[in-house]
Amino acid sequence: MDQPDYADLVAAAFTACDLAYAPYSRFQVGAAALTASGRIFRGGNIENAAYPMTVCAERVALFSAYAAGEREIIALAVVTPTDEVASPCGACRQVLLELAPNCQVILLNKAGRQQRTTPRDLLPHGFGPTQLEEARGR
């Protein structure tokens, strides 16, 4: 079975990468989330001089979609300025698993080389709502 092209989604992730605010690390990352309704939400990493306040591109894109009322994310493209395709950080993997557990994750480098994966493959033993429900006795 052929995989979808996601050309518009990938283009939006590249645009988001160019717009990222990374004056300290100079490591601009772009992401774009595609929702079931067909809308695309871009996100670039946003750094802050107080480093813990920095937000990753993946979370910016996902949070933007959720803030707009979108709840079904079908794909997320992530572009990094690396020679090899880079993977999301642990925090982003956790957020992906909860907010977009069934989406296709497309990881790209600046040259356009890509690797496809899923949130479950990125975080195979992730913590989520099920564990919280078990702890509450549901």
CA 70, 72, 75, 77 torsion-angle sign: positive
% of the chain at pLDDT higher than 70: 97
What's the CA gap between 20 and 27, in Å, rounded?
9
Closest to 119 in 3D by CA, of 95, 85, 83: 95
Does pLDDT of 19 surpass 80?
yes
Contact 107, 87 (CB under 8 A): yes
Query: Could you say which of 58, 72, 98, 134 is catalytic?
Result: 58
For the chain, give the mean pLDDT: 94
Task: Give the mean model confidence (pLDDT) for residues 109-127.
Answer: 95
Superfamily of segment(s) 7-135: Cytidine Deaminase, domain 2 (3.40.140.10)
Count of other CB atoms within 10 angstroms of residue 89 = 13
DSSP secondary structure letter of residue 113? -
Residue 2's pLDDT band (cuts 50, 70, 90):
low
Residue 47 is among the residues annotated as catalytic for this protein: no
pLDDT value of position 29: 98
Cβ count near 55 (within 10 Å): 17
pLDDT class for 1, splitting at 50, 70, 90? low
What is the CB neighbour count within 10 angstroms for residue 33?
31
